[in-house]
Amino acid sequence: MDFQNLLEHHQELLSHMESNGYSELYISRFRDEINWILRNAETKQWVSYTDIYLEYTHIPHSKDYLRNKRTIIGAIEQFDLYGNYPNGRRRHTLFNRGAYYLLVPEFQELIDFYCESEEKRGKKDTTIYNESHHAASFLLSLQKDGADSLNKVTEDQVISFFVSEDGTLIKSCSYKKDIAAVFKAGLVWNEKECSKILCFLPALRESRKNIQYLTGEEVSRIREALGDRMSGLPLRDRAIGMLLMYTGLRGCDVAGMTLDSIDWKNDRIHIRQQKTEEPLDLPLSAMVGNAIYDYLSSERPDSGESRLFLSLTKPFTPLDSGSIGNITGKIMKEAKVRQSPGMRKGVHIFRHHVASALLGNGIPQPVISRTLGHTAPDSLEPYLRADFIHLKECALDISGFPIAGEVFGNG
């Protein structure tokens, strides 16, 4: 591989990073990596940047160390081969992501057939992605267990993917349904083998977990933290928290909001939901609108980026749904709630709060579903189990039944 271009122009890459506010420590890592590559290029005789990265895998390193190496080497590759500068969004091409790219051709062909056929039938892109992703992980597990063809798959291999040797459930019923959807579509592609796999899939009971919810005291503390301009929360995080608390938007939809999503003239929020691809129109309350305005006028960097919420440091990249989840954790910490291990503090607990609050106030279910952007009639069902105000109305009076005194005793 010829590194003459990198030798002659690598200083341009480093200068670009300096002028765009990257830290000196981060820049020094790039400088050290480039010097190491140029110093060893002739003796190592690498044929690709992937080979350079693989040099680091020959000896034990932590996952974080290798992840950082992939990021840096991938960014150098983008600059050397394609002239692209780092921008915080462009991913490296050292490896394709996901189990699909590790599958044997036969398994890839099944996934490809499923995606093409279901797309023609009009299935949602997000559903196709989830089902194909889970099926690819399933097939990769079989492949690693020695079944590199469907005709080699045994029932024990399939069962072991879902249930451990001690009988513990590893994968959920919904995960199995996603896999089954791929093999049902594959019946047209290879009826014999796909029907065999479908027969091997275990009969799993659908489990329902107790849903954690925000208590009244927690809601008060969170509102206090969001409303306090002197709190440790940046204006961006306060605005995001207000959106989640009072609209119940999904994290991916908050991350995907643009400057045009806010209709200031009519006090409305307009988005296209990423999960359902359906439009959603919501009222813009004064509290939410003021929080967003404060962020836009006092903190958001002057950027040509159309997305509403950006990172707080250069190069000011748009937030993704994972970043929104991290922000909710910071909000909970600032409010001093839900800090014990295992307690929910992600985006969805805000969505659950909005649904439960509306149910508790007697808002009709169709209105709540429209507010949350649900398209399926049963999507509201999980929230009904936490509507304690109306559930109590269904309680039966047991005063007429004889009950032994020890039932309520302390012993």
Assign 356 to helix, strand or coil. helix
Instruction: Count the neighbouring beta carbons within 10 Å of the beta carbon of residue 293.
Output: 14
Select which of 53, 100, 295, 383 is catalytic. Answer: 383
Q: Does 250 qualify as catalytic in the annotation? A: yes
Please, what is the Cα angle at 61 between 57 and 64, to 5 degrees?
A: 105
How many CA atoms does the CB half-sphere of 356 hold within 13 Å? 22
Q: Write down the catalytic residue from 70, 236, 338, 374.
A: 374
Task: Name the active-site residue from 29, 307, 348, 370.
Answer: 348
374 among known catalytic residues = yes
Q: Which tokens is 374 given?
A: 């649900």
Strand order in the sheet with 279-283: 262-263, 268-272, 279-283
Is 353 an annotated catalytic residue? Answer: no
352 is an active site residue? no
What tokens does 34 get? 């480039």
> 344 catalytic, yes or no?
no
State the Cα–Cα distance between residues 23 and 107, nearest whole angstrom. 44
If one counts every other C-beta atom within 10 angstroms of the C-beta of residue 246, the result is: 21
Give the type of residue at 389. I
The C-alpha atoms of residue 321 and residue 48 are separated, in whole angstroms, by 33
Closest CA to 85 of 14, 4, 7, 174: 14
Give the tokens for residue 400: 């007429």
Marked catalytic residue, from 10, 236, 300, 351: 351
**In the structure encoding, which two tokens stand for residue 8, read together?**
């002659």
Our answer to whether residue 16 is catalytic in this structure is no
Point out the catalytic residue in the list 10, 70, 236, 250. Answer: 250
Q: Is 279:270 a contact under the CB 8 Å cutoff?
A: yes
E-strand ranges in 172-290 read 262-263, 268-272, 279-283
The residue from 124, 133, 275, 314 that is catalytic is: 275
Q: Parallel, antiparallel, or unpaired: how do β-strands 268-272 and 262-263 relate? A: antiparallel
The torsion of the CA quartet 178, 183, 187, 188, rounded to 10 degrees, works out to: 70
Q: Which amino acid is at 340?
A: S
- Which residues participate in catalysis according to the annotation? 250, 275, 348, 351, 374, 383
